[in-house]
Amino acid sequence: MKKLILAAFAAVLAVGLAACGGDDSSSSTSVSTPPASAPPATSSSTPEPEASVLEAAYLTGEEKGPDYPEGKRIAAVMVNNVFDSRPSYGLSEAQILVESKVEGGITRFMAMYQDYENIPRVGSLRSARDQFVQLLIPTYGFYVHEGPSQNQPANWYLRDYDYFGNYDLQPNDGPLWWGEPERNASYYSWHNVDGEHIANTVAAKGYDDSRTYGSPFFYFGRWDEAARVPQDGTADEFTVIHSASYRTHFEYNEATGTYDMSMFNSGTGAVQPTIDANNNAQVTFENVLVLYAPMSYWPGTSATGGLVQVDFDHGGGGFYFSEGGYELIIWRKGPADSPLTLEKLDGSGDPVVINPGTTYIGVVDDTESENFYAGLKSGTSGDHVGEGTVDPNQIGPDD
């Protein structure tokens, strides 16, 4: 089984994502192999992080500065991503940004911040969705959102994991947010929050903001050593396709060692830089993770506008991009209170070492894997020179 999985991903590398040098041709190949499951997690012990990693910032793995909020909870804010809400506020200062499809093909962001008291203006604010809640619960960080309706699955998780009355922040919590008059023509662009408002609300509600994080969010490399370059291939630009209208594009900037983020706008038909309205800067990341997961619709909701249900129980395949290189990985999660883990593809169960810095996480429907493109930029053309697929059947339930 492990050989089958490795062979399938080797095929992806060979025909889809392998660097093509200066060749500007493109190819399209679909990998079709018998269904297989992800290798079960091995019982071998996970290597202990170096001391510097254990002392690193929780969300980034970077060195803790003098202003690091030691012993404090992180916070996550739900941010709108419909076209009319752009440009958003505060995305460039998020330590981790999660994007996932929510309903009707649209995506939403969860912006995660290390220091909840010093979060910049963030918005526009949108409502909770359970796939984001499940990723946040293991951190027990504050969750800032516009509020889910009573029948939404997000409420079930917030209730069952004691978020209500402890870590949950939404509209009925007093002066948490403010409106933006210059955008009042669109409800979707109206509400904003910042660290001052969040801190005031936390204090007013008597929430406990203390939290000790024993190890970082990812298995980070040492912040005092050079970043590693993933070795499966090189890709200077690639597009993460969440749906026909929601596509997130990244281009590697060799000068900064980061990935510049852009998004497709179906209204204009163009890919536009993702700009933070706070500082007019393009949003960038040191790391990009693309995680493929089975998605369906929660019972009682329709396929045209129903609530997307992400299957985190069985793990899946994905890609890790950093320093201009990439590698194929296995991700696992399980129950809502289990952390996201990333493993090497070799079946050893050893963790993927993530470079210190900010991270974009795209949780992508595995049916979109056939539309995933990655290519090495030839000159300044920016053309995609590779096209590949990840068969969603190759990484699935543990057996």
Written as six digits, the tokens of 372 are 């995933």
pLDDT for the residue 84 = 85
Per the rule left: phi > 0, alpha: psi between -120 and 50, beta: everything else, 206 is left
Q: Provide the whole-model pTM.
A: 0.83
pLDDT for the residue 268 = 87
pLDDT for the residue 293 = 96
Calpha distance 248→240 (Å, rounded):
5
Domain ranges of the chain: 37-365
Number of H helices, E strands in the chain: 5, 24
- How high is the mean pLDDT in each 10-residue block of the chain (399 residues)? 38 34 30 32 48 77 96 97 92 99 93 98 93 98 84 88 94 67 57 92 95 95 95 92 94 98 91 97 98 88 75 94 96 96 93 98 89 44 33 36
Q: Which CATH superfamily is domain 37-365 in?
A: YerB-like (3.50.90.10)
Calpha distance 382→98 (Å, rounded):
25
Beta carbons of 327 and 193 less than 8 angstroms apart: no
Calpha distance 123→193 (Å, rounded):
7
Q: What is the dihedral of CA 217, 309, 84, 92, to 10 degrees?
A: 10
pLDDT for the residue 118 = 98
Q: What is the dihedral of CA 100, 106, 111, 112, to 10 degrees?
A: -20
What does the buried/exposed string (b/e) look like for 237-272 if buried means 16 or more CB atoms within 10 Å of the residue's CB? bbbbbbbebbbbbbbbeeeeebbbbbbbeeeeeebe
